[in-house]
Amino acid sequence: MLLVIDIGNTNAVIGIYQEQELISSWRVASDKTKTSDELGILFNELFKVKNISPSKISAGILSSVVPTITPNVVEMCQDYFNLSPLLIGPGLKTGLNIKYENPKEVGADRIVNAVAALSLYGGPLIIVDFGTATTFCAVSQNGEYLGGVICPGVLVSAEALFSKASKLPRVEIVKQEKIIGKNTVSSIQSGLYYGYTSQVDGIVKQMQAELNWQAKVVFTGGLSQLLADGCTTVDIVNPDLTLEGLRIIYELNQRC
Protein backbone atom coordinates (compact mmCIF):
# COMPACT_ATOMS: atom_id res chain seq x y z
CA MET A 1 0.00 0.00 0.00
CA LEU A 2 1.05 3.57 -0.72
CA LEU A 3 0.90 6.34 1.90
CA VAL A 4 0.30 9.80 0.40
CA ILE A 5 0.52 12.99 2.48
CA ASP A 6 -0.25 16.57 1.47
CA ILE A 7 0.68 19.17 4.09
CA GLY A 8 -1.04 22.53 3.67
CA ASN A 9 -0.88 25.62 5.84
CA THR A 10 -4.14 24.81 7.63
CA ASN A 11 -4.76 21.10 7.08
CA ALA A 12 -2.85 17.98 6.13
CA VAL A 13 -4.61 15.40 3.97
CA ILE A 14 -3.55 11.77 4.30
CA GLY A 15 -4.48 8.91 2.00
CA ILE A 16 -3.83 5.20 1.61
CA TYR A 17 -3.85 3.63 -1.85
CA GLN A 18 -4.18 -0.03 -2.68
CA GLU A 19 -2.76 0.03 -6.19
CA GLN A 20 -4.86 2.78 -7.87
CA GLU A 21 -7.76 2.76 -5.39
CA LEU A 22 -7.96 5.31 -2.58
CA ILE A 23 -9.16 3.08 0.25
CA SER A 24 -9.04 5.62 3.11
CA SER A 25 -8.33 9.30 3.63
CA TRP A 26 -8.20 11.74 6.53
CA ARG A 27 -7.98 15.52 6.99
CA VAL A 28 -6.15 16.72 10.13
CA ALA A 29 -4.83 20.06 11.35
CA SER A 30 -1.31 21.02 10.25
CA ASP A 31 0.36 21.31 13.65
CA LYS A 32 3.88 22.75 13.60
CA THR A 33 4.44 21.74 17.23
CA LYS A 34 4.00 17.96 16.88
CA THR A 35 7.15 15.86 17.12
CA SER A 36 7.80 12.86 14.89
CA ASP A 37 6.75 10.56 17.75
CA GLU A 38 3.45 12.40 18.26
CA LEU A 39 2.81 12.18 14.52
CA GLY A 40 3.60 8.47 14.55
CA ILE A 41 1.04 7.88 17.31
CA LEU A 42 -1.56 9.97 15.44
CA PHE A 43 -1.05 8.10 12.16
CA ASN A 44 -1.21 4.71 13.85
CA GLU A 45 -4.46 5.65 15.60
CA LEU A 46 -5.98 6.82 12.31
CA PHE A 47 -4.99 3.56 10.61
CA LYS A 48 -6.33 1.48 13.51
CA VAL A 49 -9.81 3.02 13.14
CA LYS A 50 -9.91 1.88 9.49
CA ASN A 51 -8.30 -1.52 10.23
CA ILE A 52 -5.22 -0.71 8.15
CA SER A 53 -2.09 -2.57 9.17
CA PRO A 54 0.98 -0.26 9.17
CA SER A 55 3.14 -3.24 8.16
CA LYS A 56 1.35 -3.34 4.80
CA ILE A 57 2.40 0.22 3.90
CA SER A 58 5.42 -0.24 1.67
CA ALA A 59 5.98 3.23 0.16
CA GLY A 60 5.15 6.89 0.62
CA ILE A 61 5.15 10.26 -1.09
CA LEU A 62 4.90 13.69 0.52
CA SER A 63 3.89 17.14 -0.70
CA SER A 64 4.38 20.06 1.69
CA VAL A 65 4.15 23.84 1.65
CA VAL A 66 5.14 24.06 5.34
CA PRO A 67 8.92 23.50 5.55
CA THR A 68 8.96 23.41 9.36
CA ILE A 69 6.69 20.34 9.44
CA THR A 70 8.32 18.37 6.63
CA PRO A 71 11.37 16.98 8.52
CA ASN A 72 9.21 15.62 11.35
CA VAL A 73 6.88 13.87 8.90
CA VAL A 74 9.82 12.32 7.05
CA GLU A 75 11.35 11.15 10.35
CA MET A 76 7.97 9.73 11.40
CA CYS A 77 7.70 7.74 8.17
CA GLN A 78 11.20 6.34 8.66
CA ASP A 79 10.79 5.47 12.35
CA TYR A 80 7.21 4.18 12.39
CA PHE A 81 6.69 2.76 8.90
CA ASN A 82 10.25 1.94 7.83
CA LEU A 83 10.03 3.96 4.61
CA SER A 84 11.57 7.12 3.19
CA PRO A 85 8.87 9.04 1.31
CA LEU A 86 9.49 10.72 -2.02
CA LEU A 87 9.34 14.49 -1.65
CA ILE A 88 7.68 16.67 -4.27
CA GLY A 89 10.39 19.05 -5.45
CA PRO A 90 13.19 19.59 -7.95
CA GLY A 91 14.49 16.41 -9.54
CA LEU A 92 11.24 14.48 -9.27
CA LYS A 93 9.65 13.55 -12.59
CA THR A 94 6.18 15.11 -13.05
CA GLY A 95 5.68 15.31 -16.82
CA LEU A 96 4.95 19.05 -16.57
CA ASN A 97 6.80 21.82 -18.37
CA ILE A 98 6.87 24.65 -15.82
CA LYS A 99 6.66 28.04 -17.54
CA TYR A 100 6.88 30.12 -14.35
CA GLU A 101 9.68 32.71 -14.36
CA ASN A 102 11.19 30.85 -11.41
CA PRO A 103 9.88 27.24 -11.41
CA LYS A 104 11.03 26.76 -7.80
CA GLU A 105 8.37 29.27 -6.68
CA VAL A 106 5.49 27.03 -7.74
CA GLY A 107 3.99 25.37 -4.67
CA ALA A 108 4.22 21.59 -4.46
CA ASP A 109 0.44 21.33 -4.11
CA ARG A 110 -0.11 23.30 -7.33
CA ILE A 111 2.23 20.99 -9.26
CA VAL A 112 0.55 17.87 -7.86
CA ASN A 113 -2.93 19.19 -8.71
CA ALA A 114 -1.84 19.99 -12.26
CA VAL A 115 -0.39 16.50 -12.77
CA ALA A 116 -3.58 14.88 -11.50
CA ALA A 117 -6.01 17.02 -13.48
CA LEU A 118 -4.02 16.63 -16.69
CA SER A 119 -3.85 12.86 -16.28
CA LEU A 120 -7.50 12.42 -15.30
CA TYR A 121 -9.24 14.98 -17.50
CA GLY A 122 -6.80 16.16 -20.18
CA GLY A 123 -6.01 19.78 -21.01
CA PRO A 124 -6.36 22.64 -21.31
CA LEU A 125 -7.28 23.23 -17.67
CA ILE A 126 -7.92 25.83 -15.02
CA ILE A 127 -7.54 24.27 -11.57
CA VAL A 128 -8.98 26.07 -8.55
CA ASP A 129 -7.81 24.84 -5.14
CA PHE A 130 -9.68 26.16 -2.09
CA GLY A 131 -7.22 26.10 0.79
CA THR A 132 -5.71 28.67 3.15
CA ALA A 133 -5.05 30.51 -0.11
CA THR A 134 -7.21 29.94 -3.16
CA THR A 135 -5.01 29.18 -6.16
CA PHE A 136 -5.92 29.24 -9.84
CA CYS A 137 -3.58 27.33 -12.16
CA ALA A 138 -3.56 27.35 -15.98
CA VAL A 139 -2.31 24.20 -17.72
CA SER A 140 -2.14 23.79 -21.49
CA GLN A 141 -3.18 20.71 -23.44
CA ASN A 142 0.50 19.82 -23.87
CA GLY A 143 1.25 19.81 -20.14
CA GLU A 144 2.67 23.32 -19.86
CA TYR A 145 2.13 24.89 -16.45
CA LEU A 146 1.55 28.50 -17.55
CA GLY A 147 1.03 30.24 -14.20
CA GLY A 148 -1.98 31.40 -12.26
CA VAL A 149 -3.54 33.54 -9.56
CA ILE A 150 -3.30 33.43 -5.75
CA CYS A 151 -6.00 34.93 -3.49
CA PRO A 152 -6.72 34.83 0.25
CA GLY A 153 -8.92 31.84 1.00
CA VAL A 154 -12.52 32.34 2.09
CA LEU A 155 -11.75 31.20 5.65
CA VAL A 156 -8.84 33.64 5.86
CA SER A 157 -11.14 36.43 4.67
CA ALA A 158 -13.76 35.45 7.24
CA GLU A 159 -11.19 35.39 10.05
CA ALA A 160 -9.77 38.77 8.99
CA LEU A 161 -13.26 40.30 9.09
CA PHE A 162 -13.89 38.89 12.58
CA SER A 163 -10.51 40.00 13.96
CA LYS A 164 -10.51 43.50 12.45
CA ALA A 165 -14.17 44.49 12.98
CA SER A 166 -14.89 44.51 16.71
CA LYS A 167 -18.69 44.21 16.43
CA LEU A 168 -18.86 41.52 13.75
CA PRO A 169 -19.11 37.87 14.84
CA ARG A 170 -17.25 34.84 13.51
CA VAL A 171 -19.61 32.92 11.21
CA GLU A 172 -19.83 29.58 9.43
CA ILE A 173 -19.40 29.60 5.64
CA VAL A 174 -22.82 28.61 4.29
CA LYS A 175 -24.87 29.38 1.19
CA GLN A 176 -27.84 31.59 2.02
CA GLU A 177 -30.97 31.07 -0.09
CA LYS A 178 -31.20 34.84 -0.69
CA ILE A 179 -28.27 37.20 -1.04
CA ILE A 180 -29.92 40.00 0.95
CA GLY A 181 -29.40 39.13 4.63
CA LYS A 182 -31.97 40.03 7.27
CA ASN A 183 -29.51 40.06 10.19
CA THR A 184 -25.80 40.56 10.78
CA VAL A 185 -24.86 36.86 10.61
CA SER A 186 -26.75 36.15 7.37
CA SER A 187 -25.44 39.38 5.84
CA ILE A 188 -21.83 38.36 6.56
CA GLN A 189 -22.49 34.85 5.27
CA SER A 190 -23.95 36.25 2.05
CA GLY A 191 -21.01 38.59 1.63
CA LEU A 192 -18.47 35.83 2.13
CA TYR A 193 -20.22 33.19 0.03
CA TYR A 194 -21.59 35.22 -2.87
CA GLY A 195 -18.67 37.62 -2.85
CA TYR A 196 -16.24 34.74 -3.05
CA THR A 197 -18.08 32.72 -5.68
CA SER A 198 -18.44 35.85 -7.80
CA GLN A 199 -14.70 36.46 -7.43
CA VAL A 200 -13.91 32.90 -8.50
CA ASP A 201 -16.19 33.08 -11.55
CA GLY A 202 -14.75 36.47 -12.48
CA ILE A 203 -11.13 35.31 -12.30
CA VAL A 204 -11.86 32.10 -14.24
CA LYS A 205 -13.62 34.06 -17.01
CA GLN A 206 -10.73 36.52 -17.29
CA MET A 207 -8.22 33.66 -17.42
CA GLN A 208 -10.24 31.97 -20.19
CA ALA A 209 -10.29 35.23 -22.16
CA GLU A 210 -6.57 35.90 -21.68
CA LEU A 211 -5.60 32.35 -22.66
CA ASN A 212 -7.99 32.48 -25.62
CA TRP A 213 -9.10 28.89 -25.14
CA GLN A 214 -11.96 27.19 -23.35
CA ALA A 215 -10.41 25.19 -20.52
CA LYS A 216 -12.03 22.58 -18.29
CA VAL A 217 -12.40 24.10 -14.83
CA VAL A 218 -11.60 21.74 -11.96
CA PHE A 219 -12.32 22.59 -8.31
CA THR A 220 -10.55 20.89 -5.41
CA GLY A 221 -9.88 21.48 -1.71
CA GLY A 222 -11.92 21.24 1.46
CA LEU A 223 -14.59 23.78 0.48
CA SER A 224 -14.71 22.91 -3.21
CA GLN A 225 -18.15 21.28 -3.22
CA LEU A 226 -19.78 24.01 -1.12
CA LEU A 227 -18.42 26.82 -3.28
CA ALA A 228 -19.03 24.94 -6.54
CA ASP A 229 -22.75 25.10 -5.77
CA GLY A 230 -22.58 28.89 -6.17
CA CYS A 231 -20.25 29.07 -9.19
CA THR A 232 -21.22 28.99 -12.86
CA THR A 233 -17.78 28.26 -14.32
CA VAL A 234 -16.99 24.89 -12.68
CA ASP A 235 -16.97 21.69 -14.75
CA ILE A 236 -15.53 19.11 -12.35
CA VAL A 237 -15.27 18.87 -8.55
CA ASN A 238 -12.67 16.47 -7.16
CA PRO A 239 -11.80 16.96 -3.46
CA ASP A 240 -9.18 14.17 -3.70
CA LEU A 241 -7.30 15.69 -6.65
CA THR A 242 -4.07 16.28 -4.69
CA LEU A 243 -4.00 12.72 -3.36
CA GLU A 244 -4.54 11.41 -6.90
CA GLY A 245 -1.67 13.57 -8.11
CA LEU A 246 0.67 12.21 -5.47
CA ARG A 247 -0.19 8.64 -6.50
CA ILE A 248 0.36 9.44 -10.18
CA ILE A 249 3.72 11.12 -9.54
CA TYR A 250 4.86 8.19 -7.37
CA GLU A 251 3.98 5.71 -10.12
CA LEU A 252 5.62 7.89 -12.77
CA ASN A 253 8.90 7.93 -10.84
CA GLN A 254 8.84 4.17 -10.28
CA ARG A 255 8.86 3.68 -14.06
CA CYS A 256 11.94 5.87 -14.55
Dihedral over Cα of 42, 239, 189, 206: its sign: positive
Q: Specify whether 6 is catalytic.
A: no
SS3 content of the chain, % helix, strand, coil (to 5): 40, 25, 35
In sequence order, which residues have a C-beta less than 8 Å from that of residue 150 and are 6 or more positions away? 133, 134, 135, 136
Instruction: Taking each helix axis as running N to C, give the angle between helix 36-49 and helix 70-81, from 0 to 180 degrees, rounded to the nearest 10.
Output: 60
Secondary structure (H, E, C), 48-59: HHCCCCHHHCCE
Judging by DSSP bridges, how do beta strands 11-18 and 21-29 pair with one another?
antiparallel
Q: Do residues 200 and 233 make contact, with C-beta atoms less than 8 angstroms apart?
A: yes
Catalytic, out of 6, 31, 37, 109 = 109
Which active-site residues does the annotation give?
A: 109
